[in-house]
Structure 1
Amino acid sequence: MKIHLLYRLIFSAAVLLSGCATQKTSSDLPSDAPPLTSSAQGATNQACIDIIKQSEGVRLTAYRGPAGHWLIGYGHKAGVKQGMEINAPQAEVLLKNDLLKIEEQMGKMVKVPVNNNQFSALVCLGYNIGMGNLYKSTLLRLLNKGDYAGASEQFSVWRKAAGKVNAHLVQRRAKEKSLFDK
């Protein structure tokens, strides 16, 4: 698995460094190459990716997020500056690289067995609220004690933006909770 992760990281770095001029996609990889969304720690499933894409939307020009940070693509933050522009394949690569990082961190944070849906729901939540917030959360504490039902109920806690309940976040948390409960 570590060789597959290394292969994907090298591929992703090459695509980013090339500016996606060749606009490589997973269909351009050798047929025996591992899928771009798996990792040694766990694999984010398509349901998680769909929730992120529906919730974040894609923006190819840098924009300010609710917390005032510059974002681009599907909510990518690292290294984004005002005026930055990317194309759709670059947005996909940024999302997949962000998910790889979260998957690795999640593999270290979760101390109990979880199924793929639970893992993916946690990745989706961590992508949105930040891994530091998830690390300090009651949700993770309950989960690591084996209280899966209690952890599931904690998704709804993360529904506020700027101190106010946000309808969009209520819907997103309901989708994540539903995925976690499958």
Structure 2
Amino acid sequence: MKTNPLYTLTLTALFLTLGGCASQKSTTTKKVEPSLEVPSVTQQKSETNQACIDIIKESEGVRLKAYQGPGGHWLIGYGHKAGVEQGMTINAPQAEVLLKADLLKIEDQMHKLVKVPVNNNQFSALVCLGYNIGMGNLYKSTLLRLLNKEDYTGASEQFSVWRKAAGKVNAHLVKRRAKEKSLFDK
């Protein structure tokens, strides 16, 4: 029995909003029918502010056809990874749903990692960083360690540490980290 990849992405988004696992893979056709409906993810309250979403959208850009990221993984939309296969396509509203679902998952993880009070801008800057570098990297970071010791200034200075790609300073990441740091410092 063949399953449409958009159906897999739809289920992935739904599972993400309900706190489920997003590691499903589809072994199906590569073309996604953009007319299929994607569920709403408004059931849960998001704490990520618009400034964070704007940084992500500007930095990631939107791609409606699957593409390979720097790590060799297939991505789609604003950098969504789970369930994506070569040749998949989505439409703009589907990219928005996938972004919201990914952000909800990161927000949930962030609530578990951050042990000290943070304002909405600080929280959103951390979500933005985690979206880009991965929550595993954030979990092991000096930034998080300093933040959880209530060293907000030290944590803020750590954003610039995450400016390299393939071992070299990347101008795009320097700009992105500056925006995230600025948001964190508000």
TM bucket normalised to smaller: 0.7 to 0.9
Counterpart residue number, 1:89: 93
CA distance in 2, matches of 1:56, 1:131: 17
CA distance in 2, matches of 1:106, 1:49: 16
TM-aligned CA deviation for residue 132 of structure 1: 0.1
Gaps of 5+ in 2: 1-13, 19-32
Structure 2 length as normaliser, TM-score? Answer: 0.79
Aligned residues with identical type, % of pairs: 81
CA distance in 2, matches of 1:23, 1:99: 16
TM-aligned CA deviation for residue 69 of structure 1: 1.0
SS at match of 1:103: helix
Map residues 2-13 of structure 1 onto 2, 5 A cutoff.
9=17
Distance 1:149 1:36, change over 3 A: farther
Structure whose residues are more often helix by fraction: 1
Q: Return structure 1 stretches of 4+ with deviation > 4 angstroms.
A: 22-26
TM-aligned CA deviation for residue 9 of structure 1: 3.4
SS at match of 1:174: helix
**Aligned residue pair count:** 158
1:57 to 61, 66, 73: 61
CA distance in 1, matches of 2:119, 2:129: 16
TM-aligned CA deviation for residue 38 of structure 1: 2.8
SS at match of 2:85: coil
2:111 to 104, 107, 115: 107
Counterpart residue number, 1:147: 151
Map residues 28-177 of structure 1 onto 2, 5 A cutoff.
38-39=45-46, 43-177=47-181
Contact 1:62 1:70 in 2 (8 A): yes
Contact 1:37 1:96 in 2 (8 A): no
Structure 1 length as normaliser, TM-score? Answer: 0.81
Paired letter, 1:151: A
Gaps of 5+ in 1: 1-5, 11-17, 27-34
What do you get for the CA RMSD once the two structures are aligned? Answer: 2.2
Paired letter, 2:17: L
Contact 1:117 1:179 in 2 (8 A): yes
Distance 1:102 1:24, change over 3 A: closer
